[in-house]
Amino acid sequence: MKSPATLVALLHGPDQPGIVARTAGWIFARQGNILHADQHRDMEAGEFFQRIEWVPAGADATTEIREFKEFAASLGMGARVAYSAHRPKGAIFVSHADHCFHDLLLRGQAGEFAGDFTCVISNHPDLAEAARHYGLTFHHVPVTAETKSAAEARHLELLRAAGVEFVVLARYMQVLSDDFLKQFGQPVINIHHSFLPAFAGGRPYHQAHERGVKLIGATAHYATAVLDDGPIIQQDVARVTHRHSVDDLVRKGRDLEKSVLAQAVRWHLENRILVYGNKTVVFD
């Protein structure tokens, strides 16, 4: 049986008495049916966060979204509201390493994501045939220090033409500029092959091996202008010992990267992530 389309609201703002009751009452007054509701209070900052999902009684979801945002504003709350019938379009950026690329697309074909990938963009031609195998358009856009600005302009052109609403950096080994991120204006999810903030930047597995760590990790985060410093969505670790070589760390790390990135994309598309400052609240 097909599930009914729902509205999902993510709210945040100064904590005050009665927010939960008032949001539930607003939905009840319009004969909506609440399916899930969760909230969190940042004790230090005095900030309130809520995720609430409901089946609207009316057929006009656009009107209910607008009215709910107006209601939230009257409470002094910011609100983002998504409609589950809408499947956001995404693009994958990738370089040579293909493990996250294949994992995301296989999961997408299996119906694990509440959105769809529409194209692949790469600074190398290696994965062109693989992208076509998945039925996706492949764009090869070489990037050098001299052509970076022109390449990013081409990226924006391709993303806008495809109606892309989010980007996943599946081990795309180029730093996106602040100008690109501002002009794109949509979420960009990156996977970094270390447990940030440790070993930011290049060759983190080599850094970890040299340091003799006993845990390695992977971190999915939203990309910002500062390298590997954006709001963290998901992390995981694996144990290693002195017996493991750099190649062992890379092999174990790739498994972490795939699962961590997939979980971050899933949560993003299910509207479970609320960003505030350089932190996230992730509703399970």
Q: What is the rounded CA–CA span in Å between residue 284 and residue 279?
A: 16
Tokens of 100: 């996250």
Give the H or E element holding residue 82. Answer: strand 78-83
- The question of whether 126 is a catalytic residue gets the answer no
User: Residue 260 burial (CB < 10 Å; 0-12/13-18/19+)?
Assistant: buried
Peptide bond into 204 cis (omega under 30): no
Going by C-alpha positions, the residue among 230, 233, 235 that lies closest to residue 278 is 230
Catalytic residue among 15, 126, 228, 255, which? 228
Ordered DSSP codes for 48-69: EEEEEEEE-SSS-HHHHHHHHH
Instruction: Supply the residues annotated as catalytic.
Output: 228
